Structure 1
Protein backbone atom coordinates (compact mmCIF):
# COMPACT_ATOMS: atom_id res chain seq x y z
CA UNK A 1 0.00 0.00 0.00
CA UNK A 2 3.01 2.26 0.56
CA UNK A 3 5.98 1.95 -1.77
CA UNK A 4 9.07 4.12 -1.37
CA UNK A 5 11.78 3.67 -3.97
CA UNK A 6 15.23 5.34 -4.00
CA UNK A 7 13.82 8.40 -2.26
CA UNK A 8 16.33 11.24 -1.89
CA UNK A 9 16.05 14.81 -0.63
CA UNK A 10 18.83 17.39 -0.74
CA UNK A 11 18.82 20.91 0.65
CA UNK A 12 21.73 22.58 -1.11
CA UNK A 13 24.80 20.62 -0.14
CA UNK A 14 23.02 18.73 2.66
CA UNK A 15 21.49 15.33 1.93
CA UNK A 16 18.62 14.84 4.39
CA UNK A 17 17.35 11.57 2.87
CA UNK A 18 19.64 9.36 0.82
CA UNK A 19 18.30 6.61 -1.47
CA UNK A 20 15.65 5.23 0.91
CA UNK A 21 13.63 2.21 -0.25
CA UNK A 22 11.00 0.20 1.65
CA UNK A 23 7.38 -0.98 1.42
CA UNK A 24 4.45 -1.08 3.83
CA UNK A 25 2.12 -3.90 2.71
CA UNK A 26 -1.58 -4.29 3.34
CA UNK A 27 -2.46 -5.70 6.76
CA UNK A 28 0.73 -4.61 8.50
CA UNK A 29 2.25 -2.08 10.87
CA UNK A 30 5.73 -0.86 9.95
CA UNK A 31 7.76 0.86 12.65
CA UNK A 32 9.89 3.70 11.24
CA UNK A 33 12.75 4.41 13.66
CA UNK A 34 15.76 6.67 13.86
CA UNK A 35 17.41 9.33 16.03
CA UNK A 36 16.28 12.95 15.91
CA UNK A 37 17.40 14.48 12.63
CA UNK A 38 17.84 11.11 10.90
CA UNK A 39 15.35 11.96 8.12
CA UNK A 40 12.16 10.23 9.30
CA UNK A 41 9.94 13.32 9.18
CA UNK A 42 11.34 14.32 5.79
CA UNK A 43 10.45 10.90 4.37
CA UNK A 44 6.93 11.17 5.76
CA UNK A 45 6.51 14.70 4.40
CA UNK A 46 7.61 13.54 0.95
CA UNK A 47 5.22 10.58 1.17
CA UNK A 48 2.27 12.87 1.98
CA UNK A 49 3.05 15.47 -0.68
CA UNK A 50 4.26 18.21 1.66
CA UNK A 51 7.89 18.17 0.46
CA UNK A 52 8.95 17.40 -3.13
CA UNK A 53 11.70 14.78 -3.43
CA UNK A 54 14.95 15.53 -5.21
CA UNK A 55 14.77 12.08 -6.78
CA UNK A 56 13.05 8.74 -6.33
CA UNK A 57 9.37 8.23 -5.65
CA UNK A 58 6.95 7.72 -2.77
CA UNK A 59 3.66 6.08 -3.70
CA UNK A 60 0.64 5.38 -1.54
CA UNK A 61 -2.13 3.21 -2.95
CA UNK A 62 -0.22 3.06 -6.23
CA UNK A 63 0.12 6.83 -6.84
CA UNK A 64 1.78 9.97 -5.63
CA UNK A 65 -0.23 11.26 -2.69
CA UNK A 66 -1.06 14.49 -4.55
CA UNK A 67 -2.41 12.50 -7.51
CA UNK A 68 -4.94 10.57 -5.43
CA UNK A 69 -8.54 11.69 -5.87
CA UNK A 70 -9.38 13.28 -2.51
CA UNK A 71 -6.32 11.84 -0.70
CA UNK A 72 -7.64 12.78 2.75
CA UNK A 73 -10.44 10.29 2.24
CA UNK A 74 -8.08 7.36 1.67
CA UNK A 75 -4.98 8.18 3.70
CA UNK A 76 -5.11 9.24 7.35
CA UNK A 77 -2.17 11.46 8.25
CA UNK A 78 -0.97 12.78 11.59
CA UNK A 79 2.44 14.44 11.43
CA UNK A 80 1.96 17.14 14.09
CA UNK A 81 -0.88 16.83 16.61
CA UNK A 82 -0.20 20.37 17.89
CA UNK A 83 -1.07 21.90 14.50
CA UNK A 84 -4.78 22.24 15.32
CA UNK A 85 -6.12 25.81 15.64
CA UNK A 86 -6.15 26.52 19.41
CA UNK A 87 -9.29 28.66 19.23
CA UNK A 88 -11.50 25.94 17.73
CA UNK A 89 -13.21 23.23 19.69
CA UNK A 90 -12.28 19.64 19.01
CA UNK A 91 -15.59 19.08 17.25
CA UNK A 92 -15.11 22.20 15.11
CA UNK A 93 -11.67 20.97 14.04
CA UNK A 94 -13.15 17.65 12.92
CA UNK A 95 -16.12 19.35 11.27
CA UNK A 96 -13.76 21.47 9.17
CA UNK A 97 -11.81 18.34 8.20
CA UNK A 98 -15.06 16.59 7.23
CA UNK A 99 -16.17 19.53 5.09
CA UNK A 100 -12.74 19.69 3.41
CA UNK A 101 -12.67 16.00 2.49
CA UNK A 102 -16.39 15.59 1.80
CA UNK A 103 -16.82 13.06 4.58
CA UNK A 104 -20.29 12.63 6.03
CA UNK A 105 -20.46 14.55 9.29
CA UNK A 106 -21.88 11.49 11.04
CA UNK A 107 -18.31 10.17 11.01
CA UNK A 108 -17.31 12.85 13.52
CA UNK A 109 -19.03 11.10 16.42
CA UNK A 110 -17.60 7.77 15.23
CA UNK A 111 -14.06 9.18 15.17
CA UNK A 112 -14.47 10.80 18.59
CA UNK A 113 -15.67 7.49 19.97
CA UNK A 114 -12.72 5.62 18.43
CA UNK A 115 -10.20 7.85 20.16
CA UNK A 116 -12.05 8.14 23.47
CA UNK A 117 -12.89 11.86 23.44
CA UNK A 118 -16.20 12.60 25.19
CA UNK A 119 -18.82 15.10 24.02
CA UNK A 120 -17.75 17.49 26.79
CA UNK A 121 -14.11 17.24 25.74
CA UNK A 122 -15.00 17.72 22.07
CA UNK A 123 -16.82 20.93 23.03
CA UNK A 124 -13.72 22.42 24.65
CA UNK A 125 -11.22 24.72 22.90
CA UNK A 126 -8.10 22.97 21.70
CA UNK A 127 -5.97 25.46 23.66
CA UNK A 128 -7.26 23.82 26.85
CA UNK A 129 -6.30 20.30 25.75
CA UNK A 130 -3.48 18.36 27.33
CA UNK A 131 -0.84 16.93 25.00
CA UNK A 132 -2.48 13.52 25.22
CA UNK A 133 -5.89 14.95 24.26
CA UNK A 134 -4.34 16.72 21.28
CA UNK A 135 -2.86 13.39 20.21
CA UNK A 136 -6.29 11.79 20.43
CA UNK A 137 -7.83 14.63 18.40
CA UNK A 138 -5.10 14.26 15.78
CA UNK A 139 -5.80 10.54 15.56
CA UNK A 140 -9.52 11.27 15.24
CA UNK A 141 -8.73 13.48 12.26
CA UNK A 142 -6.60 10.74 10.70
CA UNK A 143 -9.37 8.16 11.19
CA UNK A 144 -12.24 10.46 10.23
CA UNK A 145 -12.73 9.22 6.67
CA UNK A 146 -12.20 5.52 7.52
CA UNK A 147 -8.97 5.44 5.46
CA UNK A 148 -7.06 2.50 4.04
CA UNK A 149 -3.63 3.78 5.13
CA UNK A 150 -2.36 5.58 8.24
CA UNK A 151 0.83 7.67 8.34
CA UNK A 152 1.55 8.62 11.94
CA UNK A 153 4.47 10.54 13.46
CA UNK A 154 4.82 10.05 17.24
CA UNK A 155 1.11 9.33 17.85
CA UNK A 156 1.70 8.12 21.42
CA UNK A 157 3.51 11.27 22.54
CA UNK A 158 1.85 12.52 25.72
CA UNK A 159 -0.41 9.50 26.22
CA UNK A 160 -0.54 7.82 29.62
CA UNK A 161 0.07 4.04 29.91
CA UNK A 162 -3.63 3.26 29.43
CA UNK A 163 -3.70 5.52 26.37
CA UNK A 164 -0.64 3.84 24.90
CA UNK A 165 -2.23 0.42 25.41
CA UNK A 166 -5.41 1.68 23.74
CA UNK A 167 -3.51 3.08 20.77
CA UNK A 168 -1.58 -0.16 20.33
CA UNK A 169 -4.88 -2.08 20.15
CA UNK A 170 -6.37 0.46 17.73
CA UNK A 171 -3.43 0.24 15.31
CA UNK A 172 -3.28 -3.55 15.50
CA UNK A 173 -7.01 -3.79 14.77
CA UNK A 174 -6.68 -1.33 11.87
CA UNK A 175 -3.95 -3.45 10.28
CA UNK A 176 -5.71 -6.74 10.97
CA UNK A 177 -8.74 -5.41 9.05
CA UNK A 178 -6.53 -4.90 5.97
CA UNK A 179 -5.11 -1.43 6.52
CA UNK A 180 -1.48 -0.38 6.35
CA UNK A 181 0.23 1.68 9.06
CA UNK A 182 3.52 3.59 8.86
CA UNK A 183 4.37 4.42 12.46
CA UNK A 184 7.23 6.66 13.60
CA UNK A 185 7.80 6.57 17.36
CA UNK A 186 10.49 6.83 20.02
CA UNK A 187 8.56 4.44 22.30
CA UNK A 188 10.55 1.40 21.24
CA UNK A 189 8.80 -1.08 23.53
CA UNK A 190 5.44 -0.16 22.07
CA UNK A 191 6.78 -0.40 18.52
CA UNK A 192 8.19 -3.84 19.29
CA UNK A 193 4.80 -4.89 20.65
CA UNK A 194 2.69 -3.75 17.68
CA UNK A 195 4.91 -3.67 14.57
CA UNK A 196 5.24 -6.45 12.03
CA UNK A 197 8.21 -4.87 10.22
CA UNK A 198 10.89 -2.36 11.15
CA UNK A 199 12.82 0.23 9.14
CA UNK A 200 15.71 1.96 10.94
CA UNK A 201 17.17 5.12 9.42
CA UNK A 202 20.36 6.94 10.37
CA UNK A 203 21.87 10.00 8.71
CA UNK A 204 19.26 9.78 5.98
CA UNK A 205 20.03 6.19 4.98
CA UNK A 206 18.41 2.90 5.95
CA UNK A 207 20.69 1.01 8.33
CA UNK A 208 18.37 -1.96 8.90
CA UNK A 209 15.01 -3.23 7.66
CA UNK A 210 13.07 -6.44 7.87
CA UNK A 211 10.51 -8.27 9.94
CA UNK A 212 10.51 -7.69 13.67
CA UNK A 213 11.17 -11.39 14.22
CA UNK A 214 14.23 -11.36 11.95
CA UNK A 215 15.77 -8.21 13.41
CA UNK A 216 15.48 -9.06 17.08
CA UNK A 217 16.13 -12.79 16.77
CA UNK A 218 19.15 -14.20 18.53
CA UNK A 219 22.03 -15.83 16.72
CA UNK A 220 24.80 -18.14 17.83
CA UNK A 221 25.24 -19.92 21.13
CA UNK A 222 25.66 -19.05 24.80
CA UNK A 223 27.69 -21.45 26.96
CA UNK A 224 28.55 -21.29 30.65
CA UNK A 225 31.07 -23.75 32.02
CA UNK A 226 33.68 -24.42 34.69
CA UNK A 227 36.38 -23.15 32.30
CA UNK A 228 35.08 -20.84 29.56
CA UNK A 229 38.65 -20.01 28.53
CA UNK A 230 39.41 -23.62 27.64
CA UNK A 231 36.28 -23.87 25.49
CA UNK A 232 37.11 -20.56 23.80
CA UNK A 233 40.58 -21.88 22.97
CA UNK A 234 39.14 -25.06 21.44
CA UNK A 235 36.65 -23.04 19.41
CA UNK A 236 39.40 -20.72 18.20
CA UNK A 237 41.47 -23.69 17.07
CA UNK A 238 38.46 -24.91 15.08
CA UNK A 239 38.07 -21.50 13.44
CA UNK A 240 35.27 -20.07 15.60
CA UNK A 241 35.50 -16.79 17.48
CA UNK A 242 34.11 -16.52 21.00
CA UNK A 243 33.69 -13.59 23.35
CA UNK A 244 32.96 -13.37 27.06
CA UNK A 245 29.77 -11.73 28.33
CA UNK A 246 28.09 -11.36 31.71
CA UNK A 247 25.98 -14.43 30.92
CA UNK A 248 28.85 -16.59 29.69
CA UNK A 249 30.72 -17.31 26.48
CA UNK A 250 29.06 -16.15 23.25
CA UNK A 251 29.95 -17.59 19.85
CA UNK A 252 28.47 -17.78 16.37
CA UNK A 253 29.06 -21.56 16.36
CA UNK A 254 26.00 -23.79 16.79
CA UNK A 255 25.34 -25.56 20.12
CA UNK A 256 26.49 -28.96 18.85
CA UNK A 257 29.90 -27.54 17.84
CA UNK A 258 30.26 -25.85 21.22
CA UNK A 259 29.31 -29.05 23.02
CA UNK A 260 32.00 -31.00 21.14
CA UNK A 261 34.55 -28.29 21.96
CA UNK A 262 33.69 -28.58 25.66
CA UNK A 263 33.99 -32.39 25.48
CA UNK A 264 37.37 -32.21 23.78
CA UNK A 265 38.55 -29.68 26.38
CA UNK A 266 37.37 -31.93 29.19
CA UNK A 267 35.28 -29.12 30.68
CA UNK A 268 31.96 -29.55 32.48
CA UNK A 269 29.20 -27.46 30.88
CA UNK A 270 26.79 -25.67 33.22
CA UNK A 271 24.59 -24.11 30.52
CA UNK A 272 24.41 -24.49 26.76
CA UNK A 273 21.65 -22.90 24.65
CA UNK A 274 20.94 -20.74 21.59
CA UNK A 275 21.63 -17.11 22.38
CA UNK A 276 18.60 -15.01 23.37
CA UNK A 277 17.30 -12.47 20.89
CA UNK A 278 18.07 -8.80 21.38
CA UNK A 279 15.39 -6.31 22.25
CA UNK A 280 14.42 -3.56 19.85
CA UNK A 281 16.05 -0.96 22.11
CA UNK A 282 19.37 -2.83 21.99
CA UNK A 283 19.12 -3.11 18.20
CA UNK A 284 18.23 0.57 17.82
CA UNK A 285 21.08 1.80 20.02
CA UNK A 286 23.62 -0.43 18.30
CA UNK A 287 22.57 0.64 14.80
CA UNK A 288 22.33 4.37 15.54
CA UNK A 289 25.15 4.88 18.04
CA UNK A 290 27.12 7.05 15.61
CA UNK A 291 24.13 9.39 15.19
CA UNK A 292 23.34 9.90 18.87
CA UNK A 293 23.69 13.48 20.10
CA UNK A 294 25.35 12.21 23.29
CA UNK A 295 28.14 10.60 21.24
CA UNK A 296 28.49 13.68 19.06
CA UNK A 297 28.77 15.85 22.18
Structure 2
Protein backbone atom coordinates (compact mmCIF):
# COMPACT_ATOMS: atom_id res chain seq x y z
CA UNK A 1 0.00 0.00 0.00
CA UNK A 2 1.08 3.58 -0.71
CA UNK A 3 -0.08 6.16 1.82
CA UNK A 4 0.32 9.90 1.24
CA UNK A 5 -0.72 12.16 4.12
CA UNK A 6 -0.86 15.97 3.96
CA UNK A 7 2.16 16.04 1.68
CA UNK A 8 3.45 19.51 0.74
CA UNK A 9 6.48 20.90 -1.05
CA UNK A 10 7.35 24.56 -1.38
CA UNK A 11 10.08 26.16 -3.45
CA UNK A 12 10.41 29.57 -1.88
CA UNK A 13 6.94 31.15 -2.01
CA UNK A 14 5.70 28.68 -4.65
CA UNK A 15 3.71 25.67 -3.37
CA UNK A 16 4.50 22.90 -5.88
CA UNK A 17 2.45 20.41 -3.84
CA UNK A 18 -0.08 21.57 -1.27
CA UNK A 19 -1.54 19.24 1.39
CA UNK A 20 -1.97 16.19 -0.85
CA UNK A 21 -3.42 13.00 0.67
CA UNK A 22 -4.43 9.70 -0.95
CA UNK A 23 -3.87 5.95 -0.70
CA UNK A 24 -3.19 3.23 -3.27
CA UNK A 25 -4.36 -0.20 -2.18
CA UNK A 26 -3.31 -3.71 -3.27
CA UNK A 27 -5.15 -5.09 -6.27
CA UNK A 28 -5.77 -1.68 -7.83
CA UNK A 29 -4.38 0.68 -10.44
CA UNK A 30 -4.59 4.31 -9.32
CA UNK A 31 -4.49 6.87 -12.12
CA UNK A 32 -2.68 10.05 -11.01
CA UNK A 33 -3.80 12.87 -13.30
CA UNK A 34 -3.27 16.59 -13.72
CA UNK A 35 -2.07 19.21 -16.21
CA UNK A 36 1.61 20.04 -16.70
CA UNK A 37 3.04 21.68 -13.60
CA UNK A 38 0.24 20.42 -11.35
CA UNK A 39 2.66 18.64 -8.97
CA UNK A 40 2.36 15.01 -10.10
CA UNK A 41 6.07 14.34 -10.65
CA UNK A 42 7.06 16.19 -7.47
CA UNK A 43 4.60 14.10 -5.48
CA UNK A 44 5.95 10.87 -6.96
CA UNK A 45 9.53 11.94 -6.27
CA UNK A 46 8.62 12.59 -2.65
CA UNK A 47 7.01 9.15 -2.35
CA UNK A 48 10.26 7.64 -3.67
CA UNK A 49 12.47 9.65 -1.31
CA UNK A 50 14.12 11.65 -4.08
CA UNK A 51 12.67 15.02 -3.01
CA UNK A 52 12.31 15.88 0.69
CA UNK A 53 8.83 17.17 1.57
CA UNK A 54 8.31 20.51 3.28
CA UNK A 55 5.65 18.84 5.41
CA UNK A 56 3.54 15.71 5.52
CA UNK A 57 4.59 12.14 4.85
CA UNK A 58 4.56 9.35 2.28
CA UNK A 59 5.01 5.68 3.13
CA UNK A 60 5.18 2.38 1.30
CA UNK A 61 3.69 -0.47 3.33
CA UNK A 62 3.88 1.84 6.34
CA UNK A 63 7.57 2.68 5.91
CA UNK A 64 9.21 5.75 4.28
CA UNK A 65 10.87 4.68 1.03
CA UNK A 66 14.36 5.62 2.25
CA UNK A 67 14.00 3.22 5.19
CA UNK A 68 13.08 0.22 3.08
CA UNK A 69 15.64 -2.54 3.08
CA UNK A 70 16.57 -3.30 -0.53
CA UNK A 71 13.70 -1.16 -1.94
CA UNK A 72 13.91 -2.64 -5.44
CA UNK A 73 12.50 -5.90 -4.06
CA UNK A 74 9.49 -4.03 -2.63
CA UNK A 75 8.82 -1.18 -5.08
CA UNK A 76 9.40 -0.94 -8.82
CA UNK A 77 9.97 2.66 -9.89
CA UNK A 78 10.02 4.25 -13.34
CA UNK A 79 10.16 8.04 -13.17
CA UNK A 80 12.45 8.81 -16.11
CA UNK A 81 13.02 6.34 -18.93
CA UNK A 82 16.18 8.21 -19.97
CA UNK A 83 17.85 7.77 -16.58
CA UNK A 84 19.93 4.79 -17.71
CA UNK A 85 23.65 4.59 -18.43
CA UNK A 86 23.78 5.33 -22.16
CA UNK A 87 27.03 3.42 -22.69
CA UNK A 88 25.77 0.11 -21.31
CA UNK A 89 23.71 -2.47 -23.12
CA UNK A 90 20.20 -3.27 -22.00
CA UNK A 91 21.36 -6.60 -20.58
CA UNK A 92 24.22 -4.91 -18.68
CA UNK A 93 21.82 -2.41 -17.11
CA UNK A 94 19.59 -5.18 -15.80
CA UNK A 95 22.47 -7.46 -14.78
CA UNK A 96 24.00 -4.75 -12.60
CA UNK A 97 20.58 -4.06 -11.10
CA UNK A 98 20.10 -7.76 -10.36
CA UNK A 99 23.50 -7.99 -8.65
CA UNK A 100 22.72 -4.86 -6.60
CA UNK A 101 19.34 -6.23 -5.46
CA UNK A 102 20.57 -9.78 -4.90
CA UNK A 103 18.33 -11.13 -7.63
CA UNK A 104 19.25 -14.25 -9.59
CA UNK A 105 20.77 -12.96 -12.84
CA UNK A 106 18.74 -15.55 -14.73
CA UNK A 107 15.81 -13.20 -14.18
CA UNK A 108 17.44 -10.68 -16.53
CA UNK A 109 16.50 -12.59 -19.69
CA UNK A 110 13.04 -13.27 -18.26
CA UNK A 111 12.50 -9.55 -17.64
CA UNK A 112 13.74 -8.59 -21.08
CA UNK A 113 11.39 -11.09 -22.68
CA UNK A 114 8.51 -9.94 -20.50
CA UNK A 115 8.78 -6.37 -21.81
CA UNK A 116 9.34 -7.35 -25.43
CA UNK A 117 13.08 -6.64 -25.81
CA UNK A 118 14.65 -9.44 -27.85
CA UNK A 119 18.26 -10.67 -27.74
CA UNK A 120 19.39 -8.25 -30.41
CA UNK A 121 17.91 -5.30 -28.51
CA UNK A 122 19.45 -6.53 -25.24
CA UNK A 123 22.93 -6.39 -26.83
CA UNK A 124 22.52 -2.81 -28.07
CA UNK A 125 23.76 0.15 -26.05
CA UNK A 126 21.05 2.23 -24.42
CA UNK A 127 22.15 5.35 -26.34
CA UNK A 128 20.91 3.61 -29.51
CA UNK A 129 17.49 2.87 -28.02
CA UNK A 130 14.37 4.72 -29.08
CA UNK A 131 12.28 6.31 -26.34
CA UNK A 132 9.84 3.41 -26.54
CA UNK A 133 12.66 0.90 -26.06
CA UNK A 134 13.94 2.87 -23.07
CA UNK A 135 10.46 2.76 -21.58
CA UNK A 136 10.42 -1.01 -21.96
CA UNK A 137 13.87 -1.31 -20.41
CA UNK A 138 12.83 0.95 -17.53
CA UNK A 139 9.78 -1.20 -16.91
CA UNK A 140 11.94 -4.35 -17.02
CA UNK A 141 14.15 -2.70 -14.39
CA UNK A 142 11.11 -1.87 -12.24
CA UNK A 143 9.82 -5.46 -12.44
CA UNK A 144 13.20 -7.18 -11.98
CA UNK A 145 12.97 -7.49 -8.19
CA UNK A 146 9.46 -8.96 -8.33
CA UNK A 147 8.01 -6.05 -6.32
CA UNK A 148 4.46 -5.80 -5.03
CA UNK A 149 4.18 -2.10 -5.89
CA UNK A 150 4.82 -0.12 -9.08
CA UNK A 151 5.23 3.67 -9.26
CA UNK A 152 5.25 4.80 -12.89
CA UNK A 153 5.48 8.34 -14.29
CA UNK A 154 4.40 8.57 -17.95
CA UNK A 155 5.51 5.01 -18.81
CA UNK A 156 3.71 4.99 -22.16
CA UNK A 157 5.61 7.96 -23.65
CA UNK A 158 7.21 6.89 -26.91
CA UNK A 159 5.26 3.64 -27.22
CA UNK A 160 3.31 2.87 -30.38
CA UNK A 161 -0.37 1.85 -30.14
CA UNK A 162 0.58 -1.83 -29.92
CA UNK A 163 3.02 -1.04 -27.11
CA UNK A 164 0.43 0.98 -25.22
CA UNK A 165 -2.04 -1.89 -25.49
CA UNK A 166 0.64 -4.28 -24.24
CA UNK A 167 1.47 -2.07 -21.26
CA UNK A 168 -2.21 -1.77 -20.35
CA UNK A 169 -2.48 -5.56 -20.19
CA UNK A 170 0.71 -5.90 -18.18
CA UNK A 171 -0.40 -3.38 -15.54
CA UNK A 172 -3.90 -4.82 -15.34
CA UNK A 173 -2.48 -8.30 -14.84
CA UNK A 174 -0.05 -7.02 -12.18
CA UNK A 175 -2.91 -5.45 -10.19
CA UNK A 176 -5.22 -8.43 -10.66
CA UNK A 177 -2.58 -10.62 -9.03
CA UNK A 178 -2.63 -8.36 -5.94
CA UNK A 179 -0.12 -5.70 -6.91
CA UNK A 180 -0.44 -1.98 -6.29
CA UNK A 181 0.07 0.46 -9.17
CA UNK A 182 0.38 4.27 -9.06
CA UNK A 183 0.26 5.44 -12.68
CA UNK A 184 0.74 8.99 -13.91
CA UNK A 185 -0.05 9.58 -17.58
CA UNK A 186 -1.34 12.17 -20.03
CA UNK A 187 -2.94 9.40 -22.10
CA UNK A 188 -6.39 9.75 -20.56
CA UNK A 189 -8.06 7.03 -22.62
CA UNK A 190 -5.44 4.52 -21.51
CA UNK A 191 -5.78 5.53 -17.86
CA UNK A 192 -9.55 5.22 -18.17
CA UNK A 193 -9.14 1.73 -19.64
CA UNK A 194 -6.86 0.38 -16.90
CA UNK A 195 -7.44 2.39 -13.70
CA UNK A 196 -9.70 1.41 -10.81
CA UNK A 197 -9.31 4.66 -8.89
CA UNK A 198 -8.42 8.22 -9.85
CA UNK A 199 -6.57 11.03 -8.10
CA UNK A 200 -6.81 14.34 -9.97
CA UNK A 201 -4.45 17.15 -8.99
CA UNK A 202 -4.51 20.78 -10.08
CA UNK A 203 -2.36 23.66 -8.87
CA UNK A 204 -0.64 21.34 -6.42
CA UNK A 205 -3.85 20.28 -4.68
CA UNK A 206 -6.11 17.25 -5.03
CA UNK A 207 -9.29 18.39 -6.77
CA UNK A 208 -10.97 14.97 -6.91
CA UNK A 209 -10.30 11.37 -5.97
CA UNK A 210 -12.21 8.14 -5.65
CA UNK A 211 -13.54 5.17 -7.56
CA UNK A 212 -13.33 5.74 -11.31
CA UNK A 213 -16.92 4.73 -12.03
CA UNK A 214 -18.30 7.01 -9.31
CA UNK A 215 -16.26 10.00 -10.46
CA UNK A 216 -17.24 9.55 -14.09
CA UNK A 217 -20.89 9.18 -13.13
CA UNK A 218 -20.85 12.53 -11.31
CA UNK A 219 -18.78 14.55 -13.74
CA UNK A 220 -21.44 17.11 -14.67
CA UNK A 221 -23.35 17.90 -17.86
CA UNK A 222 -22.22 18.43 -21.45
CA UNK A 223 -24.05 21.22 -23.26
CA UNK A 224 -23.59 22.53 -26.80
CA UNK A 225 -25.56 25.40 -28.34
CA UNK A 226 -26.04 26.85 -31.79
CA UNK A 227 -24.59 30.11 -30.44
CA UNK A 228 -21.58 29.14 -28.31
CA UNK A 229 -20.84 32.70 -27.23
CA UNK A 230 -24.38 33.32 -26.00
CA UNK A 231 -24.26 30.02 -24.13
CA UNK A 232 -21.16 31.15 -22.25
CA UNK A 233 -22.89 34.38 -21.26
CA UNK A 234 -26.02 32.51 -20.13
CA UNK A 235 -24.00 30.11 -18.00
CA UNK A 236 -22.08 32.93 -16.32
CA UNK A 237 -25.31 34.80 -15.57
CA UNK A 238 -26.65 31.67 -13.92
CA UNK A 239 -23.49 31.33 -11.83
CA UNK A 240 -22.40 28.17 -13.61
CA UNK A 241 -18.79 27.40 -14.49
CA UNK A 242 -17.67 25.13 -17.28
CA UNK A 243 -14.75 23.84 -19.33
CA UNK A 244 -14.68 23.73 -23.13
CA UNK A 245 -14.51 20.32 -24.80
CA UNK A 246 -12.64 19.48 -27.98
CA UNK A 247 -15.88 19.33 -30.02
CA UNK A 248 -17.21 22.79 -29.16
CA UNK A 249 -19.29 21.85 -26.14
CA UNK A 250 -19.00 22.86 -22.49
CA UNK A 251 -18.83 20.59 -19.44
CA UNK A 252 -20.75 22.23 -16.60
CA UNK A 253 -20.68 21.15 -12.96
CA UNK A 254 -24.45 21.07 -12.59
CA UNK A 255 -27.32 18.74 -13.43
CA UNK A 256 -28.98 18.77 -16.85
CA UNK A 257 -32.13 20.50 -15.62
CA UNK A 258 -30.20 23.44 -14.17
CA UNK A 259 -28.16 23.85 -17.34
CA UNK A 260 -31.21 23.45 -19.56
CA UNK A 261 -33.18 26.10 -17.64
CA UNK A 262 -30.29 28.56 -17.94
CA UNK A 263 -30.23 28.03 -21.70
CA UNK A 264 -34.03 28.26 -21.98
CA UNK A 265 -34.11 31.53 -20.04
CA UNK A 266 -31.69 32.95 -22.60
CA UNK A 267 -33.76 31.61 -25.51
CA UNK A 268 -30.93 29.44 -26.81
CA UNK A 269 -31.19 26.54 -29.25
CA UNK A 270 -29.33 23.56 -27.80
CA UNK A 271 -27.67 20.95 -29.97
CA UNK A 272 -26.63 18.71 -27.08
CA UNK A 273 -27.50 18.25 -23.42
CA UNK A 274 -26.41 15.06 -21.65
CA UNK A 275 -24.51 13.69 -18.63
CA UNK A 276 -20.76 14.17 -19.01
CA UNK A 277 -20.04 10.73 -17.57
CA UNK A 278 -20.86 9.18 -20.92
CA UNK A 279 -17.98 11.18 -22.44
CA UNK A 280 -15.39 9.52 -20.25
CA UNK A 281 -12.33 10.74 -18.46
CA UNK A 282 -11.38 13.56 -20.82
CA UNK A 283 -14.39 15.70 -19.94
CA UNK A 284 -13.96 14.98 -16.22
CA UNK A 285 -10.32 16.01 -16.44
CA UNK A 286 -11.09 19.22 -18.35
CA UNK A 287 -13.81 20.15 -15.90
CA UNK A 288 -11.77 19.57 -12.75
CA UNK A 289 -8.60 21.25 -14.00
CA UNK A 290 -10.16 24.10 -16.00
CA UNK A 291 -7.78 27.05 -16.05
CA UNK A 292 -4.93 25.29 -14.22
CA UNK A 293 -2.71 24.94 -17.30
CA UNK A 294 -2.96 28.66 -17.99
CA UNK A 295 -2.22 29.46 -14.34
CA UNK A 296 0.87 27.27 -14.32
CA UNK A 297 2.15 28.72 -17.58
CA UNK A 298 1.84 32.24 -16.17
CA UNK A 299 3.94 31.50 -13.08
- TM > 0.5: yes
Q: Secondary structure at the match of 2:82?
A: helix
**1:120 matched to which residue of 2?**
120
Residue 252 in 1 paired to residue 255 in 2?
A: yes
Please tell me whether the aligned partners of residues 256 and 275 of structure 2 are also in contact (alpha carbons under 8 angstroms): no
* Larger radius of gyration between Structure 1 and Structure 2: 1
Please tell me whether the aligned partners of residues 37 and 293 of structure 2 are also in contact (alpha carbons under 8 angstroms): no
Q: Partners of 1:140 and 1:36 in 2: how far apart?
A: 26
Please tell me whether the aligned partners of residues 48 and 66 of structure 1 are also in contact (alpha carbons under 8 angstroms): yes
Q: Partners of 2:46 and 2:33 in 1: how far apart?
A: 16
Deviation at 1:252, TM superposition (A): 3.1
Inter-CA distance 106–251: structure 2 relative to 1 (3 Å threshold): closer
Residue 158 in 1 paired to residue 158 in 2?
A: yes
Please tell me whether the aligned partners of residues 219 and 252 of structure 1 are also in contact (alpha carbons under 8 angstroms): no
Deviation at 1:158, TM superposition (A): 0.3
Deviation at 1:18, TM superposition (A): 0.5
Deviation string, structure 1 residues 211-255 (Cα, Å, up to 9, x no partner)? 110111157899xxxxxxxxxxxxxxxxxx9xxx979xx97378x
Please tell me whether the aligned partners of residues 219 and 274 of structure 1 are also in contact (alpha carbons under 8 angstroms): no
Deviation at 1:106, TM superposition (A): 1.2
Please tell me whether the aligned partners of residues 201 and 208 of structure 1 are also in contact (alpha carbons under 8 angstroms): yes
Inter-CA distance 66–246: structure 2 relative to 1 (3 Å threshold): closer
Misfit runs of 4+, over 4 Å: 218-222, 294-297
Deviation at 1:289, TM superposition (A): 1.9
Deviation at 1:295, TM superposition (A): 9.1
When the two chains are superposed, the root-mean-square deviation of aligned CA atoms in Å is 3.0
**1:135 matched to which residue of 2?**
135
Please tell me whether the aligned partners of residues 289 and 295 of structure 1 are also in contact (alpha carbons under 8 angstroms): no
Deviation at 1:291, TM superposition (A): 1.3
Paired residue total: 265
Inter-CA distance 274–34: structure 2 relative to 1 (3 Å threshold): closer
**2:170 matched to which residue of 1?**
170
Residue 287 in 1 paired to residue 284 in 2?
A: no
Deviation at 1:275, TM superposition (A): 3.4
Give 5+ residue unaligned stretches, structure 2: 223-239, 241-247, 261-272
Deviation at 1:172, TM superposition (A): 0.1
Deviation string, structure 1 residues 87-133 (Cα, Å, up to 9, x no partner)? 10000000111111111111111111110100110000011111100
Deviation at 1:34, TM superposition (A): 0.8
**2:82 matched to which residue of 1?**
82
**2:44 matched to which residue of 1?**
44
Alignment of 1:212-231 (within 5 A): 212-217=212-217
